[in-house]
Amino acid sequence: MFVDVHAHLDWPDFSKDLDKVIKNAEKAGVSNIITSGVNHEANKKALEIAKKYKIVDASFGLYPLDILDLSEEELFDCFDFIKKNKCIAVGEVGLDFVSREKEKEQKENFLKIIEFVEKLKKPIIVHSRKAEKECVEILESSKLKKILVHCFSGNMKLVKRVEDNGWMFSVPTNVVYSIHFQTLVERTSINNLLTETDSPFLNFVKGERNEPRNVVHTVKKISEIKKMDEHETRKIIYSNFQKLFL
Ligand SMILES: [Zn+2]
């Protein structure tokens, strides 16, 4: 009953051995993986992967930097695909201000996406790198309730605000060494935590490809920080998963 709510199984890193990666995850006790698209092409691949493997669901995303050059019409074509095909959530979507690129356009796109998701009535998975405050503000002014902030790097004041809003965090594998995520886990109720790998990224062994089976290490670390039994930790995280997605 381990869950990996954020992975990118469509990445070329998995093109040779995805069968084995999924088998390894199953062997480790992973019951659910959400593979996230980041643009129209990736969403199509995510859908194929979800059809092929029982434990995988697709989340269709439009990564803020990937959609900057799309016309209004192209963006609505992406929405159309999301509407017509089976997905468990919409994401990752959001803002990325690392390169400070076209922030105004990013916000406009994010607002259009939110409006679309409000009508679709699916959970949303949000990417908010270096734009955590902006993302929280925009989401607070929306009608959305089922919100997951993935790999959230905002300060602890914002972490508290997300928790008070009743949204979920997905804690990445690098919580094994990341002081930021360890603090986030310590300060946040277990009822607001989910686990992710962001595979192939964010391995706890720096530089190595990450895989969904490594979510086991995330749960172990969370249970250590929370001073909770590992089995109990896993059960609560699974029930958080059900509440948000099922
Ligand atoms: Zn991601």
Tell me the three-class secondary structure of 98-161, residue by residue: CCCCCHHHHHHHHHHHHHHHHHHCCCEEEECCCCHHHHHHHHHCCCCCCEEEECCCCCHHHHHH
Residue 85 exposed, middle or buried by CB count within 10 Å (0-12, 13-18, 19+)? middle
Rounded to an integer, what distance in angstroms lies between the CA atom of residue 196 and that of residue 194? 7
Collect residues with CB below 5 Å from ion ligand 1: 198
Q: How close is the Cα of 231 to the center of ligand 1, in Å?
A: 27
- Looking at residue 50, its pLDDT comes to 98
Q: Does the pLDDT at position 92 exceed 90? A: yes
Rounded to an integer, what distance in angstroms lies between the CA atom of residue 118 and that of residue 135? 16
- pLDDT tens-digit map of 6-38: 999 999 999 999 999 999 999 999 999 999 999
Q: How close is the Cα of 198 to the center of ligand 1, in Å?
A: 5
Q: How close is the Cα of 196 to the center of ligand 1, in Å?
A: 9
Confidence class of residue 207 from pLDDT cuts 50, 70 and 90?
confident
Please, how many CA atoms are within 13 Å of residue 113, restricted to the half-sphere of its CB?
A: 33
Q: How close is the Cα of 142 to the center of ligand 1, in Å?
A: 23
**Domains along the chain with CATH numbers:** 2-245 (3.20.20.140)
- pLDDT tens-digit map of 151-201: 999 999 999 999 999 999 999 999 999 999 999 999 999 999 999 999 999
| 122-147 mean pLDDT | 98
pTM beyond 0.75: yes
Rounded to an integer, what distance in angstroms lies between the CA atom of residue 66 and that of residue 68? 6
Structure token digits, residue 210: 């990450």
- Looking at residue 120, its pLDDT comes to 97
Q: How close is the Cα of 71 to the center of ligand 1, in Å?
A: 24
